[in-house]
Amino acid sequence: MDAALLLVLLAGLVFALLLATRGVRHPERRGQGQSRRAEAVWERKLLSMTLGNRGAIERGLTAKRRQHPGASRAELLRRLHDDYVRDRSR
């Protein structure tokens, strides 16, 4: 009987621990999914603008990275897209 009670208490403790840590997010992973989605969106837009020319996009990213070394890839893609839109409207 004592062993069964001990097992039930242990199971309850493990369950409580799982519930308590369920919502904990790792700080290094925070926002990665959102950033990757943003990258995908900007990349799709740029690919349609450049008719699928990935080389042009990568060259543009390299140039933007020199101007903004601390920016994320999603931010660089956004800036590159803005430049393409601005240049097209001229």
Once rounded to an integer, what is the mean pLDDT over residues 9-21?
Answer: 80
Task: Report the C-alpha gap between 63 and 82 in whole angstroms.
Answer: 14
Place of tokens 């009670």: 5
User: What pTM value is reported for the model?
Assistant: 0.63
- Count of C-beta atoms within a 10 Å radius of residue 78: 19
Cβ atoms 34, 48 nearer than 8 A: no
The dihedral through the CA atoms of 36, 69, 55, 86 has a sign that is positive
Query: Region 77-88: what's the mean pLDDT?
Result: 93
Share of the chain above pLDDT 70, in %: 87
35: which DSSP letter? H
